[in-house]
Structure 1
Amino acid sequence: MSISTTGVLARPRTADARPDPPAKKRRPPDLRRWISPVALVLLWQAASSTGVLPPDELASPVTVARAAVDLAVDGELGSAFAVSLRRVAVGFVLGAAAGLALGLLAGLSRWSETLVDPPVQMLRTLPHLGLIPLFILWFGIGEEPKIALIACGVAFPLYLNLHSGIRQTDPDLLEAARVLGYTRAERVRHVVLPSAVPQTLVGLRIALGTAWLSLIVAEQVNADAGIGHLINNAREFLRTDVVVVGLLVYALLGLTTDALVRGLERRVLRWQTR
């Protein structure tokens, strides 16, 4: 006699069944976080207005705002922004490609790790900003050393975090996938790489921050265009207002890219908050 499972499958939810958790309400932005930045700007303006802070040392916030508007209207700020953004984009793509490729090789293969990881670790201990003299000797003083410096700053954080994320994959999940008959390629695709995503996104945030830092240093070396060129020209004429505008652009670019990666984290890693 066979027992039908229809009744079991169609069993209604009982009273003691756990209800679905309520959806989390999005909290409004905490305006208290703006108190200290606004207070610092007001203090800065007060120091400039009373003469405590001379304009040849640091321009006032009002003067900086006027300079930003003038540079934007003239188109000088937009063209410099485009040049700097292109440098970071090219350097980031090259560095990310190298870092991810090496991280996958070293993470997925013991033999590759033996060959790849030691030289990468040795190079990682070198301050990449100190490689500028060598890059100038190798590539000249054009765009190549600037892009190479940015690529080096991007490659190492991505390599380290991807390699670490792959190696930290839960062995129980790998064993379960093996028992279920997954091939090695399927285990890598469905278990290893998804497990490495959170750590890789951390590396991406670090790599982007290092890319902007590398750009600031690179554009101080014989740059004929870009935000760094704008800052260098302003320094020669003691235009501290333009220097501050350039620094603010660097800061805003870094904050924007970091916010984009955090948004990507929330979207890709939604399963972690459930």
Structure 2
Amino acid sequence: MTTRQSSGWGRVLRSRWVSPIVLLLLWELGSRVGVIPPRTLAAPSSVIVTLIDMIASGELPHNLIVSCGRAAIGLAIGSVLGIVLGLAAGLSRPGDAAIDPLMQIKRTIPVVALSPLFIIWFGIGETPKIALIAFATVFPIYLNLYQGIRGVDVRLMDAARSFGLNRWELIVHVVLPGALPSLLVGFRYSLSIAVLMLVIAEQINASSGLGYLINNARDFMRTDIIVVCLMVYAALGLAGDLLVRGIERRALVWRPTLVAA
């Protein structure tokens, strides 16, 4: 074997795709020889066939749209609340004293434990599902915006005052742009939490959505459908992360580190 061939194999072995591909091959092999029964876990080939069939029938696109709608509405409500509370607490001491203790208390409450209470308050329709997602996504946006505002360099504030900027201009031109990177980090966390909470929320008497498909598949022991839905949940999380990265590249062009990257 030549040196060039050995270096090529070395690059392949160091690739990040090697271990997932090997895992899929072992999974397929285990299913083929009967080590992994279909009722335990469907083979990757069966999952791909099921995915194609669900897309062709329109079953997956319809339920995916329903789930995305729930996640988007809940995330939008949580984002607005988080931004409003973060601004109020970060920009004023009275707001900090009134809001931050309540948000820290909220942080310690497991969101999943609120499901029974939300069902009692809002019933078993769409409202408790959206409310759970909104409640879970508030804190990451609030905390990161709050910390971003409080972490703005004091020297920048002093320099802006020396140019004659008043308080409002200081907030608009210095504080908020300085806190924007932290806000986007919080938004990225909230996107992943929204997908996670979507899995939990759709277990509440859902008649459509990815959670509905999973519940039906569980009853009929269709592990192939369950794996398809889990793949879609993972794809939603990755798509959300790519979306925020795209926003960062456009909104934070002024950051030297980002431009260099």
TM-score with structure 1 setting the length: 0.87
Structure 1 stretches of 4+ moved >6 Å: none
Residue 159 of structure 1 corresponds to 142
- Greater helix proportion: 2
Q: Shift of residue 43 of structure 1?
A: 1.0
User: Following the alignment from structure 1 to structure 2, what is the Cα–Cα distance between the partners of residues 40 and 221?
Assistant: 33
Q: Does 1:100 align with 2:79?
A: no
Which residue of the partner structure matches residue 230 of structure 1? 213
Q: State the distance in 1 between where 2:87 and 2:124 align.
A: 33
Structure 2 SS opposite 1:33:
coil
Give CA deviations for 1:151-208 in whole Å, capped at 9, x if unaligned: 0111110000000000001011101111110011111011100110111111011000
The match for 1:42 is: 25
Task: Tell me which residue corresponds to 2:122.
Answer: 139
Offset from partner CA, 1:200-236 (integer Å, 9 cap, x none): 1110110000000000000011111000000100110
TM-score by length of 2: 0.91
Which residue of the other structure, out of 191, 207, 210, is the alignment partner of 1:208?
Answer: 191
Aligned equivalents of 1:234 and 1:66: distance in 2?
Answer: 16
Runs of 5+ unmatched residues, structure 2: 1-13
Is residue 57 of structure 1 aligned with residue 37 of structure 2?
Answer: no
Alignment of 1:6-45 (within 5 A): 32-45=15-28
Residue 71 of structure 1 aligns with an amino acid whose one-letter code is M
CA RMSD of aligned residues (A): 1.3
TM-superposition CA deviations, 1:109-133 (whole Å, max 9, x none): 1111111111111111111121101
1:78 lines up with 2:64 in the alignment: no
- 1:272 corresponds to which residue? 256
Pick one of 242, 246, 261 that aligns with 1:263.
246
Secondary structure of the residue aligned to 2:208 is: coil
Partner of residue 128 from structure 1, selected from 93, 111, 117: 111
| Structure 1 unpaired stretches of 5+ | 1-30
Matched, 1:189 2:206: no
SS of corresponding position for 2:189: helix
Deviation at 1:37, TM superposition (A): 1.2
Counterpart CA distance in 2 for 1:217 and 1:260 is 23
The percent identity for this pair of structures is 52
Equivalent position amino acid for 2:199 in 1: I
